Amino acid sequence: MTDWAAIKADFPVLKQTANGAPLVYLDSGNTSQKPQRVIDAMSNYYETINANVHRGSYDIAVKATDAIEGARQKVAAFINAPSSIEVVFTKNATEALNLVARSWGGANLGEGDAVVISEMEHHANIVPWHMLASEKGFELRWISVKDDGHLDLSNLDELLDGAKLLSITAMSNVLGTLNPIHRLAEAAHAHGALIAVDGSQYVPHLATDVQAMGADFLIFTGHKMLGPMGIGVLWAREEILEAMPPFLGGGEMILNVTKEGFTTNEVPWKFEAGTPMVAEAVGLAAAIDYLNEIGMDEVRKHEVELTAYALRTLKERHGDKITIHGPSEPAERGGVLSFVYDQVHPHDVAQVLDQKGICVRAGHHCAKPLLRTLGVPATSRVSLYIYNDESDIDLLAETLTEASDIFSF
Ligand SMILES: Cc1ncc(COP(=O)(O)O)c(C=O)c1O
């Protein structure tokens, strides 16, 4: 049995008050909090072995290099990648998606081609494709989202016909919807397309196996999985990375430079120009250790139970006053609940909650096409993680009543 109260106690931020009330953090889809162990691992790195990597010949430089390469191996094992050389460190998921677009897309897409995405993508998986499409002239096709929060896959074959890439989120950051990645990968491959999976909301919350998914690319971001800001991951199959041109140029990514040109380093370093984020990699490795000790199946179980409790409690307490978007079945979704409450603007909801120390996000959640489909300009969004419990949901449900008292007419 996991001691969830002991886990919560590992997060120093949660020991504070905000506006005079104990801080209740319900915004982990935005960024997660960090356990003391991650903070200590990063401080310890700076206190003991800080040095630039891959180029130093002295003791602490070797240790720093071992630290970043050890972190790479840990990331590879966490997603069941066949090899750690398939793991590229980036600044965040956004940079990883831009890397796929600029490098793979730049080399492989042109007029007459198509890339398929969905209406539930984060802007990070939309804008890079818009930018490239306007230069290269390929078509961007959209999988629609149904009223129940699931993808409309009725015309999937039509959309994939002639497409070179399906780039899609494994879990929506607005609806919580878990998408059928294995099925989508099979469909993409049957049409000769590759599949890039945006795992930013999925990898922190569910056991991830890139091989079982059938993915060609997986993108995620360290700060949503208890790790630090400033590190993201692009995983891709080795032969795909080998064939891709470099993304950014400079130090680290070359084998040789002459007045006439340069030769590129081996993968993954070919894609890691300049000094990398060593302390952040150490922090991410500590976060992975922490999650592994709990067990990703336990993490998921806790979140399904808490999501079920939240859906039930909010409905019981607020009935028709609250509209919660996304799948109604907790097993088909993650712990992300976007809602509209009693004609109160989501920013007003967030402000009232803030007065009680409750942190939620209000706005379009960087998913404007989806919000247009939902027919709302903004929602309030609660997103759960391992340090949340039923008391957080109870306080949320109770405080919402105050928003209604103040703002509804
Ligand atoms: C589904 C999804 N993709 C991509 C991102 C972008 O992550 P980052 O800002 O770390 O690059 C987010 C962040 O909210 C997200 O939810």
Question: For 42-56, how does the pLDDT look when each residue is reduced to its tens digit (9 = 90+)?
Answer: 999 999 999 999 987
- Whether the pLDDT of residue 397 is over 80: the answer is yes
- Nearest atom in ligand 1 to 121's CA: 1
C-alpha 124 – ligand 1 centre gap (Å): 6
Q: How far is Cα 59 from Cα 66, in angstroms, rounded to an integer?
A: 11
The 3-state secondary structure of the chain reads CCCHHHHHHCCHHHHCEECCEECEECECCCCCCCCHHHHHHHHHHHHHCCCCCCCCCCHHHHHHHHHHHHHHHHHHHHCCCCCHHHEEEECCHHHHHHHHHHHHHHHHCCCCCEEEEECCCCHHHCHHHHHHHHHHCCEEEEECECCCCCECCCCHHHHHCCEEEEEEECECCCCCEECCHHHHHHHHHHCCCEEEEECCCCCCCCCCCHHHHCCCEEEEEHHHCCCCCCCEEEEECHHHHHHCCCCCCCCCCEEEECCCCEEECCCCHHHCCCCCCHHHHHHHHHHHHHHHHHCHHHHHHHHHHHHHHHHHHHHHHHHHHEEECCCCCHHHECCEEEEEECCECHHHHHHHHHHCCEECEEECCCCHHHHHHHCCCCEEEEECCCCCCHHHHHHHHHHHHHHHHHHCC
Q: For residues 270-296, give the mean pLDDT.
A: 98
C-alpha 285 – ligand 1 centre gap (Å): 19
Using one digit for the tens of pLDDT, what is the confidence trace for 149-195?
999 999 999 999 999 999 999 999 999 999 999 999 999 999 999 99
The predicted model scores a pTM of 0.98
Choosing from 100, 122, 233 the residue with most ligand 1 atoms within 8 A of its CB, the one to mutate for a pocket test is 122
Share of the chain above pLDDT 90, in %: 97
Instruction: State the architecture of 4-30+295-407 in CATH terms.
Output: Alpha-Beta Complex (3.90)
What is the predicted pLDDT for the residue at 367? 96
- Nearest atom in ligand 1 to 173's CA: 16
- Nearest atom in ligand 1 to 169's CA: 1
Q: For residues 259-279, give the mean pLDDT.
A: 98
Asked if the 39-292 domain carries CATH number 3.40.640.10, the reply is yes
C-alpha 239 – ligand 1 centre gap (Å): 26
Domain locations in the chain as residue ranges: 4-30+295-407, 39-292
Pocket of ligand 1 (CB under 6 A): 92-94, 122, 124-125, 169, 173, 198, 200-201, 221, 232, 366
Choosing from 168, 201, 383 the residue with most ligand 1 atoms within 8 A of its CB, the one to mutate for a pocket test is 201
What is the predicted pLDDT for the residue at 404? 83
Using one digit for the tens of pLDDT, what is the confidence trace for 56-111?
789 999 999 999 999 999 999 999 999 999 999 999 999 999 999 999 999 999 99
Q: For residues 200-219, give the mean pLDDT.
A: 98
C-alpha 161 – ligand 1 centre gap (Å): 28
Q: For residues 7-33, give the mean pLDDT.
A: 97
What is the predicted pLDDT for the residue at 405? 85
Same CATH topology for 4-30+295-407 and 39-292?
no
What is the overall mean pLDDT for the chain?
97
> Which residues carry out catalysis?
366
- Whether the pLDDT of residue 408 is over 90: the answer is no
C-alpha 274 – ligand 1 centre gap (Å): 23
Contact of 138 with 115, CB cutoff 8 Å: yes
